[in-house]
Structure 1
């Protein structure tokens, strides 16, 4: 994975967290003391195939190390992806970003540029991990994170575990329509969204439901959903994300920490 010696002249290990959407890429490097040593944001244009994505995203990550004069090496990299992710295979199965990214081999693409352990995860699940770590769901054992941006999706924390499901579809909300970001949520659509989320909450029995989305959607939905949850899931609180756009990035960082720990433990056992 990289240098293991304590020699101060050798490159230092860092964890790399990546979060990308259809139009934006964010990269953070964090050292062993938990300090952010690099934070970058890039606009993404059309990337029509895996090779183009790999050169753009993998190249941006590699550039972060080159800019530091190769004084650091990646202990682990975690990438929050828009859409359905098979984390075992490292593949973005169904893209919620650019449609050409269906089937994108995220892990393999990054490893063409950087020789390091890499994991890919769904960015809504990453946002839940972030809010659970240091945000609106901090300390909870059971929580829901609902994202109404683009294709609606939820992530489920149950008994301290973020659920994926047999086919990585835990939290999918196929009954909900994609909402117009400029159109207020009202009438029958508001009732539909409230009903689906209330049913999900009744099943999961969360302490907190984190609602992420446009203000014209979550503004009307929040108090209505809270009123229903007071009946079907007493004690559950409907809240907004505390970390905003930073939730998915922090969740990716937490995933990188786990990956690095597992790698270190495996090396000690060899």
Structure 2
């Protein structure tokens, strides 16, 4: 959430969502931007009086989802096996009907294909979010990625992503909406962290009291910027700047 905004659904949108059931589908709730957004939206939906369901395999963030009012629906959404995905379509259709789901929101490609077919068959509004730029230039990969552009509303996390979607999938141009990722400055404020915890962490990392820390917190993959930071660290060291420790913190590629 952005500073000064208590909910992404503040204002005139909230009454429209009250009493509705919104189902988000994502492979699993481990660490990551898509997973964090899923929980943020579930919390905001709950605050408006909506039911926030999340269908996924599970993960370390399920307990946080539940603590913030979201409902976890165990669902094998991580599979990319075509046969299993076909079975998932029927399972999701049953879930949509049983829970009287008003909107299905997909955040990843494999479960999005399942959700796309299930929502077309149940005539349920379908929303997708592009959380980044998907790789792939071949016709087959572009076709696989295209499901994320097939939502009744397609959310792009940046202007860059919007332009990319419009270029590859011009049929979706009129349905794209840009919604930037926010930051909850209450959680990220230095004042929200106990100084004792800061000192202990510096000791664990072997950082001296007079050293500065540059932290890159992101999944360890080629496009998150770790190589750029390593190169920057080399250049700074070559210039005699040695009072800095560089920390790369994040899960592996998975």
TM over 0.5: no
TM range (shorter): 0.3 to 0.5
TM (normalized to structure 2)? 0.33
Structure whose residues are more often strand by fraction:
1
Give the structure with the higher percent helix.
2
Structure of higher RCO (CA pairs closer than 8 Å, 6+ residues apart): 1
Larger Rg: 2
* Superposition TM-score, scaled by structure 1 size: 0.32
